[in-house]
A and B are shown apart, each in its own frame.
Chain A
Amino acid sequence: MTPASDSWLRELLREGADDLTVPPDLTDTVVHQTLSSQQRTGWVRPVLQVGLVAMVVTIGVVAVAALRSNTAAPPVGAPTPELDTAVVGAPSSLLGTWELKRMSGFTVPDGPPRGEGIGPLITFQTDGTWSGFDGCNPVSGGYDLQPDGTFASTVSSTGLAACPEVASLPLPANEGTEVRVHDGEATFYDSVGATTARLVRPLGWSAPTARLLTTGWGIDLALSTYGSGSCPYEIDSIQVKPDNQLWVQIADLHPGAVCTADFRRSTDVAQVPIPIDPDPVIPTVDPTQPVTATLVGLGQIPTLTVPVDASDLVGARLVTVKDWDGTSVDTARLEGTLTVNGPGCVSVGNTVVAWPSTYRLATEPNRRFAIVDQDGTTLGTEGQTLTLAGGMTPAEQDGTTTVDTTHPECITGDYWTGVIFAADN
């Protein structure tokens, strides 16, 4: 597209933009709302300085005795480990249960061996809350983890009344705190890169694998694909079939192509993939209503192989002749491979074919598309050499046509009208 040929569009967009009336109070409104929202959420920063502390305080009751006798200074300037960009900073990478192993300014007691008994545990949930158990009381609060790893937390509920001996602890999370999740460990860094806390996954903990937990249809998620080269970015529609298979119709996907894609919730962060919500899931399923379906995955991208039904594909174009069942046909012969041309029109060799109205597309188990008759009998499969009976039909010049006009882009010149006479094995 040369600058000359798109100048009309540039001008049109400029005129359209100029027609937009910028609200006279736009700056004032934006500034006011932005600063107000910061004040409303300003709890994050101040509480950051006490929030995670309190959280650790409460979960660290079992550490108090050890704290009194053993204070370990944090290593300053600890190098950031090589990071797995698939999980670093992704909010869901912190989800699930963790065991506190180390905190700046105090030493977590040896306590029960990892994975046994009840140690200081923290569980981060998808709704932005955390909960823990300090060995005495349940505790909970809120947290915020940005894709770049910036972390903040609050405490909304503690059971301190039953454990009055809880002591104050140094801050593990301060201004500029970041979290990195790598290889089963969550490490907290302060603003100068020093490690302030370390959490590990409890023994036996494993990330759930992707699964669908609903029947019915309709997914209340905006999804994008970031998958194999055959997967376009845009998804036309998504369905969950009764057998719990995820069916995705993708615009312009070549009929018969297999698209193995990562499905991710649309996200602000292009370079850091964010797994689809990992948490359960569908509280109730009413088959008569649209269903919200959630893919389950934790710390990993659910990858599904998508069944592609050629008859449902936007890109599959089978041209038929209206009111013609193929019983009367010319006797010329056309031989060639059943395929699709550039626009996705079903062709034999390089020739676009208009088929009887009783023909339709289907998908074979091997993902190739097939042409079937009204009884469902397969007449030809993609890649097969077909022999057609019929004849060449000139393109209509006067606008009248007997061809089904559903796919006008397929009939741009002469085309073959015919039936499948034979197919090779």
Chain B
Amino acid sequence: MARDQGEFISFVASSSAALFRVAGLLCSGDHHAAQDLVQEAFTETYQRWDQVRDPNARQAYARRILVRAATRRWKRLARDRRRLVSPDGVVSASHADQVIASHDLWVALAALSPRQRAVVVLRYYEDMSEAEIAEVLGCSRGAVKSHASRALDSLHQRLGGPDYLGVDTEGSRS
């Protein structure tokens, strides 16, 4: 696959920062986890390099891999947390717990389910349509709507909605 290396390097250089930021949101601010996800996304994309030739399609493919890897990561974290429950029911603080506790947004995002978090990031950061999100997550548009609705309720409760930024309902800073 050496013939594609130059093209691949250009692809990484042009898209890695944006993908890292998406990963960072999906990981609630955990830089190390975000970098791992970005690495996984690019590695898998490179493995499909010959099958996905369109640059835009490659970017979408990498993002899809990233989102799904992030979902798996959160489920793994949840499982590991269950394992950390000691006999008296005390949960040990993990590194991830400490990281995500450092910022209101990260805490609020971390409180969402993996799919809710993915929907929020893709819908309100990546500006993707419900149909596009449904395709990425492999679920129905109705499920995307449901996840978005619940996620927004949760974020409203935790962050206070527009008041958090001092934004009025028209979207401008007060």
Q: Tell me the A residues contacting B by CB distance below 8 Å.
A: 1, 3-23, 26-27, 29-31, 33-35, 37-38, 148, 218, 220, 222, 233-234, 237, 251, 266, 268-271, 290
Whether A10 pairs with B124 at a CB distance below 8 angstroms is yes
From known contacts A8-B161, A20-B24, A234-B113, infer whether A34 and B31 are also in contact, taking CB-CB under 8 Å.
no
Contacts of A35 in B (CB 8 A): 5, 8, 46
B contact set with A: CB distance below 8 Å: 1, 5, 8-9, 12-13, 16-17, 20-22, 24-25, 29, 31, 34-35, 38-39, 42-44, 46-47, 51, 65, 68-69, 71-72, 75-76, 79, 82-83, 103, 105-106, 113, 115, 120-121, 124-125, 135, 137-139, 143, 148-149, 152, 155, 159, 161-162, 164-165, 167, 169-171
**Contact present for A16 and B72 (CB under 8 Å):** no
Task: Give min CB distance, A412 to chain B, whole Å.
Answer: 14
Known: A19-B29, A35-B8. 7 other contacts (CB 8 A): A11-B167, A17-B22, A27-B16, A34-B43, A38-B1, A233-B143, A290-B82
Q: Are B42 and A17 in contact (CB under 8 A)?
A: no
Residues of A within 8 A of B21 (CB): 17-18, 20, 22
Query: What 8 A-B pairs come out closest when comparing CB atoms?
Result: A270-B138, A7-B171, A222-B75, A20-B24, A17-B21, A8-B162, A13-B125, A8-B167
Contact across chains for A16 and B170 when beta carbons are under 8 A apart: no
Interface centre among A9, A12, A234 (most CB of B within 10 A): A9
Question: Of all chain B residues, which has the CB nearest A13?
Answer: B125
- Chain B min CB distance to A376 (Å): 27
Chain A residues, CB < 8 A from B148: 1
Asked if B152 contacts A6 (CB within 8 A), the reply is yes
A50 smallest CB distance to B (angstroms): 19
| Chain A residues positioned under 8 Å from B82 (CB to CB) | 218, 237, 290
Q: Is the CB of B8 within 8 A of A12?
A: no
State which of A20, A148, A269 has its C-beta within 8 Å of the C-beta of B29: A20
A35 to chain B, nearest CB (A): 7
Please state if B38 and A30 are interface contacts (CB–CB under 8 Å): yes
Contact pick for B72, options A10, A222, A251, CB 8 Å: A222
Chain B residues near A30: list those with CB within 8 A: 12, 16, 38-39, 42
